[in-house]
A and B are shown apart, each in its own frame.
Chain A
Amino acid sequence: MTTGSETMVDIYQDPPLKTRVRKTFATSWKTLKSNPNLMIGSIILTVMVGIAILTLLPTASTVARYDPTELAVRERINGPSADHWFGTDKLGRDVYSRTLHGAKTSLYVGIGVAIIVTIVGTSLGVIVGYNRVADNIVMRVMDGMMSFPTLILALALVAALGSSLTNVIIIIAIVDTPSMTRVVRAVVLSLRERTYVDAARASGASTKRILFLHIAPNTLAPVIIQASIFFGGAILTEAALGFLGVGTPEFIPSWGNIISSGREFIRVGFWIAFFPGVFLALTVFAANIVGDGLRDVLDPRLRGEK
């Protein structure tokens, strides 16, 4: 920051960064308080992230109590007890610790997919929204990809690429990218007709400058909303692939493959599938209501209406 207070007041200049950050924090707290969806959703997600971080650190054994891969053949399929809060599975592994460690896998997938889709989808969307030629090529491919039902495309890609954790993330990201691109493209198409873009162009701004300084930041709201939806969707898809027996490999505990392993023991050990399912449902629910909350807050068309 070189401009001091003694320079001419430029009404078009943004307030200093410090003020902006403080303002943002103040408003986000106010927004959180006024929007129960956002509040409840963020609390649940924070707890899940907390669990995931604790199981990553050396604190894992104190939080999760057992090694999620430790076998105890004598304690196979024991119901919930003081020793094993969520019971044990067919190999005597502690379901509680497997569920907590599963949080890590799910969040890893959710965050990974959200980040990849946001970066790729936004870049593609901004480019095709501004360039006719690119638009024709890229959007035809995206239309083609969207003509596959999502889970079916994911399944087919799993068949081709195999199902490591990284592959699962990449596959779900590939499946989700077209809709993100579409959303960003639509926003860019409407933004480029705005007067402020004309004004920028008239004052001599280059296309690159207009794209990255004037248009890209304004796609932020819809991108954030979409990203939160894809975050939850990715967790759900990973779990569905795991449940179908083609997701994250068995040695990495994930909510999907724990539920899948509990399916055959429904009569004698419902707890194996029940508890991880509660965590999964809660997390996806939280992601969805955060998405809804963000839409209420960020979408200016709905602002101020109840």
Chain B
Amino acid sequence: MTAYIFKRVLAVIPILIFVGIATFSLVHIAPGDAANIMAGDYAGPDDVKLIRAELGLDKPVTTQFVEWASRTLRGDFGKSIYSGRTVAELVSQRLEPTISLTIVGGTLAVLLGIPLGVFAAWRAGSRWDRGIQIFAALGISVPGFWLGFIFILAFAVYLRWFPVIGYVSVTEDFTGWIRSITLPVSLLAISGSSVIIRMTRGSILEVLREDFIRTARAKGLANRPVLFRHALRAGAIPIITVIGTLAGALITGVVVTETVFTIPGLGRLIAETVQNRDFPVVQSMLMLLASFYVFINLMVDLAYVFFDPRVRL
């Protein structure tokens, strides 16, 4: 078991190195010169030179990489070309809305998705199952930004239940906070739970087909214990994987959701900086989000150890 954990943790290192190299290369795969692109159409040669020096693009690539890597490892992510503020500053300012949205949205998605998925599998082929499956299919097909638009139109513009845009800090005004995140969070919960429903239903269906379930039934066990004592326990392992997938869905969802509802969070930050081609910020966000994603997936893999005795061997 220790060996497994050790091996799994070590496997993260090459992935993070790859993430670092890929992130660093971003400036260099830009056709032409990144400094030129960033300076825009109206910049003089001096501006371009300034940006080039700012990015360190005037040095050899290897030197650049070593410098960039050592800075990044020390936690210095550089600063925005546009606003001149440090990335750390920008990120810390925008952290709260994103954390609120993802934690509340993710929790709701799990609370909604897993029971519905289990229920759909348990009643496979029934009208309930079909209804839940249609909900899930719509949830992954209907674009979040369009659904968000409909939500704003219906609940904010016509019914006036919620504010149209913006975010209220939780420390400032608790009810205001709830009102400001209700629509965005519902959006994240709908798309997130749809992914979870599909995966949960699939894995429980597979478990229900196993021999030991037939054995449990054959020995006269009632439906309820078969589901809760046998199927769910065995089905829990693949369901944990859902958390990793959910993390990916939430990161994507938050970029779109924050744009729809004009919430000043990390998702909005990355969309804005891509628009401005503010490379230092784009690179840092890429690095941060990828590391976060890798970390979540590592946690998921380690959680297997506790749920699946086979891995421990």
Contacts and interface: CB of A to CB of B under 8 A. Distances in A.
Contacts of A148: 19, 22, 286, 289-290, 293
B137 A244 contact: no
A272 B111 CA distance: 35
Nearest to B38: A159
Interface of B: 14-15, 18-19, 22-23, 26-27, 29-31, 34, 37, 125, 137-138, 140-146, 149-150, 152-153, 157, 164, 247-248, 251-252, 255-256, 259-260, 270-271, 273-275, 277, 279, 282-283, 285-286, 289-290, 293-294, 297
Contacts of B138: 285
Given A152-B285, A246-B271, A288-B140, A270 B153 contact: yes
A75 interface: no
A285 B142 contact: yes
B141 A147 contact: no
Nearest to B248: A149
A140 B11 CA distance: 10
B143 A277 contact: yes
Contacts of B27: 160
**Chain A interface mostly:** helix
B157 A245 contact: no
Interface in A4-20: none
Interface string A136-161: 00001101110111111101111111
A246 B286 CA distance: 16
A288 B137 contact: yes
A96 interface: no
Given A150-B252, A159-B279, A244 B259 contact: yes
B30 A155 contact: no
A42 to B, nearest CB: 15
Given A147-B290, A156-B274, A284 B141 contact: yes
22 contacts: A143-B18, A144-B22, A147-B18, A148-B22, A149-B247, A149-B251, A150-B248, A151-B251, A151-B256, A156-B286, A158-B274, A160-B29, A162-B30, A162-B31, A162-B37, A240-B144, A240-B256, A245-B271, A245-B275, A246-B274, A281-B143, A284-B143
B166 to A, nearest CB: 14
A259 interface: yes
